[in-house]
Structure 1
Amino acid sequence: MPVAVIVLAAGQGTRMNSELPKVLHPLASAPLLAHALAAARGLDPERTILVTGHGGEAVAAAARHIDPDIRIVRQEEQLGTAHAVRQAEPELAGFDGDVIVLYADTPLVRPETLQAMLDARATGAAVVVLGFEAADPGGYGRLVTRDGALEAIVEAKEATPDELAIRFCNSGLMAADAATLVSLLAEVGNDNAKGEFYLTDIVALARARGLAAAAIACPEAETLGVNSRADLAAAEAAFQSRARAEALENGTTLTDPSTVWFALDTHVGRDVTIGQNVVFGPEVTVESGVTIHAFCHLEGCHVSHGAKIGPFARLRPGAEIAEDVHIGNFVEIKNAIVEEGAKANHLTYIGDARIGAGANIGAGTITCNYDGVFKHQTDIGARAFIGSNSALVAPVRIGAGALVAAGSVITQDVPADALAVARGKQETRPGLAKRLMENLRALKKKATN
């Protein structure tokens, strides 16, 4: 059966104390919104609908960057969750399938949990609610069940003492077939203290029609909602803990797991070893057999089989590291291709460049890629050797097998197999250092007397 997903992202998030819309605050190097959309993609939905409100233009732009096909509607007034879902009704026109309602500020729900909700729908429940066993139920709505069926959702402030004792709580996520959902939403009223239209009311409305309602359970950690900076920090910790456990399970060695930080879209192959204090930014793929030593930062890069990175290396966006490449300590790579077997082991900046297979880049080498207005390309051929403390002023080409002498400033192309030397001539004057130092000491002594 086809699936549609409605993601609610209209809230202001005043407790974040921020000008940035709440759902755009980053978690694992991606907006909160991206996490909800990633969970939705796991269902391969036919339609994904985002309901915006506060900061709507910025939220919509971020959503389109993540999913160009997303359908966006706006809740002009925040009149409750049922009212928010109703804004999506025009985008459900002609849709015949199940609908899941998600929240953009609930980033840890897994696609497998959403699929379990759909599976419960397939067994005959008209409405399915996602619940969790709360360690401290507090102000959560309670899920009242009988013989496996969901009878009601009771808000904590309206619950009896017996209902308050229930630990099975409402996460807010729901599933129903589209026609039933639209029909039930039309009956939701706002006769309550806040004068808002609550999505939770559709359970009682469904039961009043004689329709079945069900609740399935997930771990409480999946339902963590982000309403404050403290919640955001807790969600980050929970995400990282999950990501580290998954990496270990999938065949990655983490020498100090608690110090490795992953992004939402980090992909790491088997038999990868990651040292302590390694940080992955967005858009990183690491193939199998790679070693990443301690204190490295990777972002927007691809690292191929057998490469060795770090320690203290930085791979920036556009870095393409081929098989068996060595990138050593205090080396920075940006928008550059480093081909198979090449080495840059020490104190080097490589930007806007191609480093040929088997080339060796000496310590202190810099590709001078920026003239203050434009970026320029450096091309280093296969098996070339760049001596230490060299500056390659782009645009420039170093031919295959060429050798650049240490300390050179290269401003012209170097042919294949040629030696290029571009440095001042050394001049040595015997005894001059001794005489200079004696004169300086005499001047210092005179000045202090």
Structure 2
Amino acid sequence: MTARSSLTVVLAAGEGTRMRSSLPKVLHQVAGQSLLAHVLDAAPHGAGASLAVVIGPDHKAVADEVRRVRADAASFVQAERLGTAHAVLAAREAIARGADDLLVAFGDTPLISAETFTRLRAPLAKGAALAVLGFRAADPTGYGRLLLQGDRLIAIREHADATDEERKVTLCNAGVMAFDGGQALKILDRIGNANSKGEYYLVDAVTIVREMGLEAVVIETSEDEVRGINDKAQLAEAEAVMQTRLRKAALDAGVTLIAPDTVYLAADTKFGKDVTIEPFVVIGPGVTIDDGAVIHSFTHIVHSSVGKKALVGPFARMRPGTSLGEGAKIGNFVETKASTLEAGVKVNHLSYIGDTHVGANSNLGAGTVTCNYDGFFKHKTLIGEGAFVGTNSSLVAPVKIGKGAYIGSGSVITKDVPDDAMAVERSPQSNREGGAKRYREMKLRAKKPKEG
């Protein structure tokens, strides 16, 4: 049997004024990923699946995010905001191509899952013209109620228009819908704007479907999954739900989270086997942690990879572009950026390693700094295999430290160091006998109150 084709229309034109932000609402983030990206990832993929996103005028940043996340998606502009049905019809060109199923979703519901979209489509294959996603609300106040007659949906009643009896219903409208593609434009075009705001509301599709003698049904999901984001408080609530999901998934995959509630994960974090994460760790987007690695407390990692059995932290910061090889170690108060540390490298404490390639089994002592920025451009530092860099050394890039080279403590290295060479750069030490005593006496005399 041939799989049904689908078009998902994601509504993302809202300004989100209650977010109190210049950033479009759908670009705010949950678990290191925009609200919109979560929805686009959940929407159907692959052969027969197409995607259209409805954005507001002058929302180039939203269009850019659409292209970044789903190159197969088309963007359509809703020039005027005249209701949800009007927004869907901004993508008329895509709808008219005639996919078997038309899904309508919202760009501010980051917790919705691919599995829910699949369940929502199922009744269409059995002859339903419309499937509406619903949830059982702990407090249904303000939500539209889904009114059923047996298994059939007969109406969506807005809270303000509901009778006292209807307000007792806890099955509420999530807004997400699936239309039979062959009927979708006929249904949408019949939705009118005879209401106090003169807008075209998607909820009226249920009435239209019944007037056409077609069937509408409800598919239920959890209240958490359809949380819409309208302000920063709701954004924080969605983040909490997402973090709970991600932590559970990590634990189920065998990751040891010593204090799960204190660990922040990104939606795309990838773990190997036997990974241990200590308390108070923040893992941002683009992070891979391989088998047996240990991330110690108060570490922050973004867009980086941690190799097998590597150790990171405590109090370490891995900035974008860092790659740690097998068994490598960066310790407390070490910051790395755009650097590769090969297998067995040790940078145990109090160092900055930026724009650097460190060969296997090298040791960088406390206070090592790669001076990668001259005020205008970034430059590379190359450190060969098995090199030793002494405490409190500054390597002024561009510079190359050869294999097996040894840098004396306190050196400022500005020239390349050959393989197996020793480089020491420091001023000669001068000892002045009795100098400390004379200095103290001079200062005490100066401090003594003058007489008279």
TM-score, normalized by the shorter chain, greater than 0.5: yes
- Is 1:386 paired with 2:389? yes
Partner of 1:427: 430
The equivalences for 1:264-283 within 5 A come to: 264-283=267-286
Partner of 1:193: 196
1-structure distance, mates of 2:123, 2:345: 54
- Is 1:401 paired with 2:404? yes
The equivalences for 1:17-32 within 5 A come to: 17-32=20-35
- Quickly say closer, same or farther: Cα 1:98–1:402, change in 2 above 3 A: same
332, 337, 341: which is aligned to 2:335?
Answer: 332
- Greater mean deviation of Cα atoms: 238-247 or 218-227: 238-247
The Cα of 1:210 is off from its aligned counterpart by 2.0
1-structure distance, mates of 2:256, 2:405: 39
Partner of 1:83: 86
The Cα of 1:45 is off from its aligned counterpart by 6.3
- Quickly say closer, same or farther: Cα 1:63–1:119, change in 2 above 3 A: same
- Greater mean deviation of Cα atoms: 142-151 or 343-352: 142-151
Partner of 1:240: 243
Partner of 1:292: 295
1-structure distance, mates of 2:438, 2:231: 69
TM-score (norm 1): 0.96
SS at match of 1:327: strand
The Cα of 1:44 is off from its aligned counterpart by 6.9
The Cα of 1:268 is off from its aligned counterpart by 2.4
- Quickly say closer, same or farther: Cα 1:432–1:44, change in 2 above 3 A: farther
SS at match of 2:176: strand
SS at match of 1:179: coil
- Quickly say closer, same or farther: Cα 1:43–1:122, change in 2 above 3 A: farther
* Runs ≥4 residues deviating over 6 A: none
The Cα of 1:309 is off from its aligned counterpart by 0.5
Please provide the CA RMSD for this pair. 1.7
Q: Give ranges in structure 1 of 5+ residues lacking alignment.
A: none
SS at match of 2:64: helix
Partner of 2:307: 304
Q: Give ranges in structure 2 of 5+ residues lacking alignment.
A: none
- Greater mean deviation of Cα atoms: 51-60 or 292-301: 51-60
Is 1:51–1:88's contact at 8 Å kept on the other side of the alignment?
Answer: yes
Q: How far does the alpha carbon of each residue in 1:272-310 deviate from its partner, in whole angstroms, 9 at most, with x for none?
A: 111111112221121221110000111111112211100
- Quickly say closer, same or farther: Cα 1:383–1:430, change in 2 above 3 A: same
- Quickly say closer, same or farther: Cα 1:97–1:328, change in 2 above 3 A: same
Is 2:6–2:44's contact at 8 Å kept on the other side of the alignment?
Answer: no
- Is 1:362 paired with 2:365? yes
- Is 1:410 paired with 2:452? no
Q: Which amino acid aligns with 2:68?
A: H
The equivalences for 1:179-258 within 5 A come to: 179-258=182-261
Give the total of aligned pairs: 449
The Cα of 1:20 is off from its aligned counterpart by 2.0
Q: How far does the alpha carbon of each residue in 1:240-298 deviate from its partner, in whole angstroms, 9 at most, with x for none?
A: 12211221122111111111112222222332111111112221121221110000111
1-structure distance, mates of 2:47, 2:316: 38
Is 2:7–2:99's contact at 8 Å kept on the other side of the alignment?
Answer: no
The Cα of 1:65 is off from its aligned counterpart by 2.6
